[in-house]
Amino acid sequence: MDYYTLYQYSLEKPENYWESYGKKLSWFSTWKEVIRREKYIAKWFVEGKTNISYNVTDIHTGKALIWYGENGKRIEVTFDELKRLSSSISRILMENGIRKGKRVAIYSPNSILTIASILGSARIGAIYTLIFAGLGIEAIKSRLEDFQPDFVITSNKTFRREKEVPLILQGNLNFNRDKEEEEINKLLDAEEVKPVEVESNEPLKVMYTSGTTGRPKGVVLPHGAWMVGDYTVFDLLFDLKPGDKVLTTTDVGWITFSRIMYGTLLHGSTFIFMEGAPDHPKDRLIKIIEEEQPKVLFTSPTLIRLLMKYDIKLPRVEYIATAGEIFDEKSWQYALKMADKVTDVYGQTELGYVVGIPYALEGIEAKIGYAGVPFPGMILDTVDDEGRSVRGAPGYLIAKSPFPTQFIGILNNEKKFLEYFAKFGYHDTGDVAILDGIYVKIVGRSDDMIKVAGHRITSGEVESVVSSIEGVKDVAVVGIPDEIKGEKLVIFVVGNVDKDFVKRKVTETLGPIYVVDNVYIVERLPKSRSGKTVRRILRDILLGKEVDPTILEDPEVVKEIRNEISRNI
């Protein structure tokens, strides 16, 4: 079917559309209503009972997981073995009093036993959260204080760039990474635990959004509804089949990993993931792709830029997909050298993936530099401060229809949940975008909106221009206070470029109000372990504030940038 026909059908008959996907998965009891609309969100597959872990491990055969360590070590797990591993974790949890609705915190790196812990928790209806292994102690404490787990699963260490990295928390169950294969074999020798039936709208997990200051934000996601939504998106994007392989470079601590993992395994496809840095050694991805021949490489724009920086071309795959940050045109063009089809995928923890290129459908093509088109079932709009629709110019991106992967609350914070809907009466994504016909171009966060002389400027607009300049390998734009203009633009560039040319290019391309105050040439930008540029750190450095570098891939970058700024005063 072509995209336009299916999209229109999904809006005219949403119950029929979503029911067709719900029926592709297994349920213990069927639903009484497909959609029950509420004031701001909806309940999905009401009174239908299922289990996402059961749908992953008990339905399929063949290879489920392939894990790679930095030293080239490879572990392969079948769906049957994954069921037994998950059941073993379920049994340990149950022996410690964990039942449906109890809370399990998982603080562990990319490993087979981490995935078994996720599925083992879901198998008995426990609500789990994942704590990113790269967080500092205060960030970990704040999440645990908010989540109040009944049981904590940890690992003693992880490995990154040939270094052992001790993890700073020991839980009720602690995996010893030095005896990993021994522990896996021991857990394989266990009886199956029967999956617990969970109503579609009961919680599956709580995912904390990134940030190291203030009260953490625990996004509550539903069990069966989220399962159907995630399955649907990966069906539309890649037309996955049993036996297909999907390789990702993401970290289990972030929502992107969960989406890819479940979206792959629910189709009976093989999920390939790795521990450590994807670029260490530099030919690591090349060797994995040559050996595994994946259908899909799901990564980040940052990794594509890194490959471009070192002129590394990966063996060709059918699909390259990116998520998590703006995918600039130059990086997209580079990705096309390594894949038949390229797509960006846009979403947020609170909403799920709602924009991309659904290559499984006919009549739709990618538009370079754009996140894609709304998936069937999703109505998006861009509006101004008064809530009036705008086209061809940046506006606040809002979701005007519910979606199965949409959140059902913020843990312990009803006020924060309602704030998403307070301004426009619809789900405010917090992002700024341009709608060009059906295509969606993400230009930045509304938090990153820079106001210069009364004009709203997005960091993404400026970064897109600068990234097109020959010699630019990476770029970040921030605004800092200015007594006259309100804010002024500061640009950080990785690459060999002339600062004055950068300033002129921005002004000539975007207009005279886009006056750049300063350009700093740096060796690298502050990146989170998930690969995102942390602009807040750049802004705080410029303002002389103390920064918390614990979320960064390498905290030393803060000192490097401070030194570069000092040299240019």
Active-site positions read 447
Q: How far apart are CA 466 and CA 125, in angstroms?
A: 48
Number of neighbouring beta carbons within 10 Å of residue 181: 10
Reported for 256-262, long-range contacts at CB under 8 A and 24+ positions apart, including other chains, are: 256/298, 256/323, 256/324, 256/530, 257/110, 258/118, 258/130, 258/205, 258/207, 259/230, 259/233, 259/234, 259/347, 259/352, 259/353, 260/234, 260/298, 261/115, 261/118, 262/52, 262/56, 262/227, 262/230, 262/231
Half-sphere exposure of 389 (CA within 13 A, CB side): 9
Residues near 407 by Cβ (< 8 Å), separated by ≥ 6? 41, 219, 220, 221, 349, 350, 351, 417
Long-range contacts from 500-504, C-beta under 8 angstroms, 24+ separation:
501/469, 502/466, 502/469
The two three-digit tokens of residue 243, written as one number: 């036996």
In order of 88, 196, 198, 284, the CA distances from 95 in angstroms are 11, 15, 20, 41
User: Is the four-CA dihedral 476, 250, 332, 441 of positive or negative sign?
Assistant: negative
